[in-house]
Amino acid sequence: MVRALALLVALASTGCIDAVPTVAVNAGNAAQVQACQTNASVHNWFVLGGVAVGAGASGLSTVSAADPALRSSVPLLIIAASLTGLGTVATMGAGLAAASFASGGCPTVVGALPAAVAADAGS
């Protein structure tokens, strides 16, 4: 179970934006770096929320497939419609946050550290 959860977290985080400052933070760019980190966090929460909603929808369809009596259950249909709506909101939120991240010049100040810098930080 722990391995499955670790795999789910790893897969869910593949669509996330890294929010590590890639430039030296100073008084001139501190506000932009902070705003970009916040924007990346909002995007990442939408991505993770979308993964959770997708997992819930998958579980719901598995349950309804296993029991034919549940296929036309009104509460099940309401839950399915709600999950679809939440999935749409999560997708739109992630897209809007990513667009805001890009248009705000964030890729120039935060993101994944280059491989050489990451290797130097580890030693």
pLDDT in tens, 92-119: 999 999 999 999 999 989 987 665 544 5
- Domain assignment of residue 78, yes or no: yes
CA 13, CA 79: separation in Å to the nearest integer? 26
Return the pLDDT at 113: 64
Sign for the CA dihedral angle at 38, 39, 45, 48 comes to: negative
Give the integer Cα–Cα distance in Å for 50 and 25: 32
d(CA 50, CA 90): 5
Assigned token pair, 26: 């100073």
Q: Which domain holds residue 101?
A: 34-122
Residue 111 lies in a domain: yes
pTM reported for the whole predicted model: 0.76
- Confirm whether 118 is domain-assigned: yes
The pair of three-digit structure tokens given for residue 61, joined into one six-digit string: 């369809």
In a domain, 88, yes or no: yes
Any domain includes 16: no
Indicate the number of domains in the chain: 1
Q: Please report whether residue 41 resides in a domain.
A: yes
Residue 28 lies in a domain: no
